[in-house]
Homo-oligomer: A and B are copies of this chain.
Amino acid sequence: MIAYTTYLTVRTKKRYEILDITDHVERVREESKLRDGLIFVSAMHITASVFVNDHEPGLWADIMDWLERLAPAKPDYRHHQTGEDNADAHLKRMLLGQQVFVPVTEGKLDLGPWERVHYGEFDGQRPKRILFKAMGLP
């Protein structure tokens, strides 16, 4: 049984940004030599998401607008009494989710036609880590 762990550090240019990280998941599959199992992908910071959706910049903009409507950046969160200014990022990350699994079957990422793995950053411009753990059969 394989249990292979690796980390990716990302630093987005903007405070709010969506990145397609599917190619990195594929690299993890190659390094791990996993042939049948699951690759766990998890944001290690609580102001970021990992989710599966379409690689389409128009949709990414729709997602960011929609998150801002449902969980707006504004000054009056209680969390900001601690000196923080990112409560909206903590909420936005919940809406998209914090971790996903990518199935691997017969040595390939077993994704549907449009499924791509994305990292959603809501408090960026500094180093953030993503954890990958491949588990299953070689």
Contact = CB atoms under 8 A, between A and B. Distances in A.
Interface of A: 1, 3, 5, 36-38, 40, 42-46, 51-54, 56, 58-59, 61-63, 66, 70-71, 77-82, 87, 90-91, 93-101, 103, 105, 110-115, 129, 131, 133, 135-137
B70 A58 contact: no
DSSP majority for the A interface?
mixed
B71 A66 contact: yes
Nearest to A112: B44
Given A61-B78, A96-B94, A46 B38 contact: no
The 9 closest A-B pairs by CB, nearest first: A44-B112, A58-B78, A59-B79, A3-B36, A58-B79, A62-B77, A61-B78, A5-B105, A46-B53
